[in-house]
Amino acid sequence: MTTAAPPIPARSSVPHFRTLRDLSAGQLRDLLALGERLAAGRPPEPDPRPLAGRSVALIFEKNSTRTRVSFEVGVHQLGGFPIFLSESDTQMGRGEPLRDTARVLSGYVDGIMIRTYEQETVEELARFSRVPIINGLTDLYHPCQLLADLLTMQQEFGAGRLGELRVAWFGDGNNMANSWLNAAAMLGFELRLAVPEGFDPDPETLERARGETSVLLTRDPKEAARGAHVFNTDVWASMGQEEEAEDRSAHFRPFQVDEELLALGAEDAIFLHCLPAHRGEEVTEGVLEGDRSRVFQEAENRLHGQKALLVHLLG
Ligand code: CP
Ligand code: NVA
C-alpha cells in the first residue's frame, strides 16, 4: 500500500511565477517599469545586488539558449549563484519524484526555475517547494517570454499606450499564444489571433481572457493583421512536436507573416518572435531582418525582464 508523501507544510506567503496570472496587473506593470530601468543600464535600487548570498536552481527538461543564458547571467548580475540542472544528469532523469526534488532543493536554494512539458509539473513543484517556482516554459505557457515581449512593446510605444494597442498573433495556438491571452487580459490590450482550425489556444485561457478584454479568434490572417501594432508568430512545431512538423506545416502555411501581411498593420507596427525562428516558414527573411523587426531587442529583454522578476520574487 502506498501512502501519500507528507509535504513540508507550504509557506503560503511564498510567491510563484507559474503563469503571468500569479502577478496582479499592478505587479506586472511595476515589474515592466523595473525591467525598463534595468534595460537602460540602471541597477536595482537601493541594493544593486539583491541576490547576494542566494542561489537559484535552473532545471531544464527541454533545450534552451535564451532562457538558460539569460537566467544564468541575470542571477549572476544580481549577485546570486545560478545552478544549471539538466534532467539527464540529475536523479530526476532516473525517476526521482518531483515532490522529493522540490523538498530537497528547497533546503539548498532560494528559487527554482523549471522548463518542462506539463504545466502540472510546475504546479506540483510549487505545491511542495518552500521557495518560489518560476515557469521557464511548459507546453501550456511561456510567461518569462511575455515579460520580454511586453517590455519591448513598452519601450516602443510607452507604458501609457500599452492598454490601447492591438496585438496580432499568427499560427499555432500554443504556449506563446496562451501567454499572450493572459497578458492581454491583464493589461487590457486587444488581441487578434489568426489560427488554423484544430490549433486553437487553450479553451479555458481563451474564455477567461474573453471575459476581460477584446479577443478575436479568426481563420483569416488579414483580419488579424489590419491595424495591428504588434505582429507575432512562433514556430509551427514546438519542442516535443518534431515528428508532426511536416503534417503541421500544411495547415500553417497561409498564416506566414510576410511583407504583404505586415503592410496591413499600423504605420508604426513592430514584429516580434520569441525565437528560434524558422525563416521561410512562419516568417519571411525580409520581415525577420526588416526595419519593423524587434526580435533581437526582444531577446535581450529576456535578461532585463527576468532580472525584474527575480527582484520581485527573491529580492
Ligand atoms: N524564446 C526562448 O525561450 O528561447 P530558448 O528556447 O532558447 O530558451
Ligand atoms: N512554442 C515554442 C517556444 C520556444 C521558445 C516551443 O514550445 O517550442
Nearest CA to ligand 2 atom 3: 238
What ligand has the least distance to the C-alpha of 64?
Answer: 1
Question: Any idea which residue has 493583421 for its cell?
Answer: 225
DSSP label of 39: H
pTM score, two decimals? 0.96
Interval between CA 275 and ligand 1 midpoint (Å): 6
Q: Provide the domain count of the chain.
A: 2
Q: Are residues 39 and 172 in the same domain?
A: no
Q: Are residues 219 and 280 in the same domain?
A: yes
CB contact at 8 A, 82 and 70: no
Kindly state if the Cβ of 64 falls inside 6 Å of ligand 1.
Answer: yes
Kindly state if the Cβ of 8 falls inside 6 Å of ligand 1.
Answer: no
Interval between CA 239 and ligand 2 midpoint (Å): 6
Pocket of ligand 2 (CB under 6 A): 137, 142, 174-176, 234-235, 238-239, 274
Q: Are residues 103 and 174 in the same domain?
A: no
Which pLDDT belongs to residue 87?
85
Structural domain that includes position 198: 145-299
Which pLDDT belongs to residue 4?
54
Q: Are residues 43 and 119 in the same domain?
A: yes
From 63, 65, 241, the mutation candidate for ligand 1 (largest count of ligand atoms within 8 A of CB) is: 65
> At 263, which CATH number?
3.40.50.1370
Ligand 1 atom nearest the C-alpha of 115 is 8
DSSP label of 247: H
Question: For residue 5, is it within any domain?
Answer: no
Work out the mean pLDDT of the chain and round it to a whole number.
95
- Spans in the chain with pLDDT lower than 50: 1-2, 8-9, 11
**3-state helix vs strand vs coil in the chain, percent to 5:** 45, 15, 40
Q: Strands, E, within 17-137: which ranges?
A: 55-60, 81-86, 111-115, 133-135
* 193-240 pLDDT tens trace: 999 999 999 999 999 999 999 999 999 999 999 999 999 999 999 999
